[in-house]
């Protein structure tokens, strides 16, 4: 299911033995554009520290009840590696974090979730924690911070990031950036895939895309989450003459057989 990041913010986070807090924001990496952690607001329970929940621990999102179930107990979360609220997520912290839970690290392989093609494959098994050399160094970013970034087309600025569209059923990949173009085209919102991003200037808070302003202007308009069907996605990718991510995934599976 595709869902906006801002829709999930505020959802209740449920441990196996009770409510642990609410979703505050997300940390994602700028290499694969995958959600790496949900940041939990635990109220007065665990003050002074960031409580991070990896998608490995997520069982499912319930839109009707506005909640997310996890496979963790409150005791497990309380005993997890502590990260001060004003500190960034370091490589050392992540190594200790994944070792504590016994999960495979996402940065020791070529795929979005390391050596696994799908995160779901790792839900039902545990791998021995290994401090092997990282295949790549993730740089974690906040969805709330990047939501203010400007989007630069090949021939000029076109708007700013308003939100993110997340695949919350399998990979927890960021499928699209929601771009608000109200300063140019009377409030039209469009979707841009991370695949079409050329580079990001973190110093300038600007994202550069390999698309022209006119092609973005003529792209299918995005209004709300009800549009996020495969037919809509197919039309969007066809407009930009790109192969859909779901087609690439199928091709990879066929090639691996």
pLDDT, position 132: 52
User: By three-state DSSP, how is residue 244 classified?
Assistant: coil
Cβ-contact 163, 157 below 8 angstroms:
no
Taking alpha carbons only, the member of 19, 17, 27, 21 closest to residue 144 is 27
Q: Set out the domains of the chain in order of their start, with CATH numbers.
A: 2-140 (2.30.30.240), 147-252 (2.30.30.240)
pLDDT of residue 40 exceeding 80, the answer is yes
pLDDT of residue 122 exceeding 60, the answer is no
Average pLDDT of 199-206? 94
pLDDT, position 71: 96
pLDDT band at 185 (very low <50, low <70, confident <90, very high): confident
Average pLDDT of 235-239? 97
Which tokens belong to 233?
């996605």
pLDDT of residue 114 exceeding 70, the answer is yes
Cβ-contact 159, 150 below 8 angstroms:
yes
pLDDT band at 6 (very low <50, low <70, confident <90, very high): very high
Which tokens belong to 165?
């569209």
134-184 pLDDT per residue, tens:
777 778 999 999 998 999 999 999 999 999 999 998 799 999 999 999 877
Average pLDDT of 67-95? 92
pLDDT, position 183: 76
pLDDT, position 251: 45
Q: What percent of the chain lies above the pLDDT cut of 90?
A: 69
DSSP states of 110-167: SBTBBTBS-GGGGTT-------PPPSS---EEEHHHHTT-EEEETTEEEEEEEEEEEE
Highest mean pLDDT among 26-35, 123-132, 134-143: 26-35
Residue ranges with strand state E in 185-233: 189-192, 197-201, 206-209
Backbone angles phi, psi at 50, to 5 degrees: -85, 130
Q: What angle do CA 55, 106, 130 make, to 5 degrees?
A: 120
Cβ-contact 27, 83 below 8 angstroms:
no
Average pLDDT of every residue of the chain = 88
pLDDT, position 111: 81
pLDDT, position 255: 34
pTM of this structure: 0.88
Which tokens belong to 43?
């109220």
- Rounded-to-integer distance, Cα 37 and Cα 230, Å: 26
Cβ-contact 2, 167 below 8 angstroms:
yes
């Amino acid at each position: 299911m595709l869902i906006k990041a801002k829709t999930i913010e505020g959802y209740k986070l449920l441990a196996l033995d009770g409510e642990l807090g609410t979703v505050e924001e997300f940390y994602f990496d700028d290499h694969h554009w995958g959600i790496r952690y949900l940041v939990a607001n635990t109220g007065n329970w665990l003050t002074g520290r960031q409580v991070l929940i990896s998608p490995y621990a997520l069982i499912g999102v319930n839109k009707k009840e506005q909640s997310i179930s996890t496979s963790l107990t409150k005791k497990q979360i309380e005993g997890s590696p502590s990260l001060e609220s004003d500190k960034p997520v370091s490589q050392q912290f992540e190594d200790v974090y994944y070792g504590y839970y016994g999960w495979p690290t996402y940065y020791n392989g070529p795929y979005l979730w390391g050596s696994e093609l799908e995160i779901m494959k790792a839900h039902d098994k545990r791998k021995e924690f290994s401090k092997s050399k990282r295949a790549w160094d993730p740089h974690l970013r906040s969805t709330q911070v990047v939501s203010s970034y400007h989007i630069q087309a090949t021939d000029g600025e076109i708007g700013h990031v308003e939100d993110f569209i997340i695949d919350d059923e399998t990979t927890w990949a960021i499928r699209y950036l929601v771009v608000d173009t109200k300063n140019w085209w009377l409030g039209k919102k469009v979707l841009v895939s991370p695949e079409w991003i050329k580079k990001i200037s973190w110093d300038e808070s600007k994202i550069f895309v390999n698309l022209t302003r006119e092609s973005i202007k003529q792209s299918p308009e995005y209004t709300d989450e009800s549009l996020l069907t495969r037919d809509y996605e197919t039309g969007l990718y066809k407009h930009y003459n790109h192969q859909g991510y779901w087609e690439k995934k199928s091709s990879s599976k066929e090639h691996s057989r």
